[in-house]
Homo-oligomer: A and B are copies of this chain.
Amino acid sequence: MSPSKSRTDALMAGEELSSAAQRERRKRIVDATIALASKGGFDAVQMRAVADRADVALGTLYRYFPSKVHLLVSSLGVELERAQEKMDRATVPGDSPYERVLFVLGRITRGLQRNPHLTEAMTRAFTFADASAGAEVDRVAWLMESMFTRAMSDEEPTDEQKAIARVIGDVWLSNLVAWVTRRATATDVANRLELTVRLLLK
């Protein structure tokens, strides 16, 4: 049992999938998840539907991702990485950390708001995650924070900068949740983020 278990862990983390076939299966699953989430949000990501669309048996889906939350949070990680890569290719404009952080924040936020269902699905999965998905959640949280610290300066971030990035991430997430549940408009979100960044960085 022990060797099989460590193999499964590797599948979950997505590292070093033994065969090309497995890497492809995993990709098909994530793609199916993103497609379904984009169309109908959290509720539309039904495990049977994901399995069908990825052309994989239900049992296989569960072997790769042990729950719907794992699946969605992992997919969010994939999406964030893509966004980060795009961001890396262009220099962030702005003369101060304040301006640069605002720029990055505005850009990601607009990106998310362009795909409300997907955002709803991932946000809800992220905040609903329980301890068992801790690793995946941590990874996403880390990706988010490093987006902001990178915008603040090119150097290794100071502790203070890390703390600020974390606060911004927290506020960002909770505004996203408010937007997703229609308790805040896109304008509300933009205003609150700007206000927060001003309080912290100006």
**Cβ contact within 8 Å between A177 and B127:** yes
Q: How many angstroms between the C-alpha atoms of A174 and B192 in the bound complex?
A: 16
**Cβ contact within 8 Å between A134 and B199:** no
Beta-carbon nearest neighbor of A195 in chain B: B163
B-contact bits for A105-139, CB 8 A (1 contact / 0 none) = 00000000000000000001001111101100110
Beta-carbon nearest neighbor of A120 in chain B: B130
B-contact bits for A151-178, CB 8 A (1 contact / 0 none) = 0000000000001101101110111011
Can you tell how many copies of this chain the complex includes? 2
Chain B neighbourhood of A130, CB < 8 A: 42, 124, 181
**Cβ contact within 8 Å between B124 and A181:** no
Is A196 in the interface zone, CB < 8 Å from B?
yes
Shortest CB distance A28–B (Å): 28
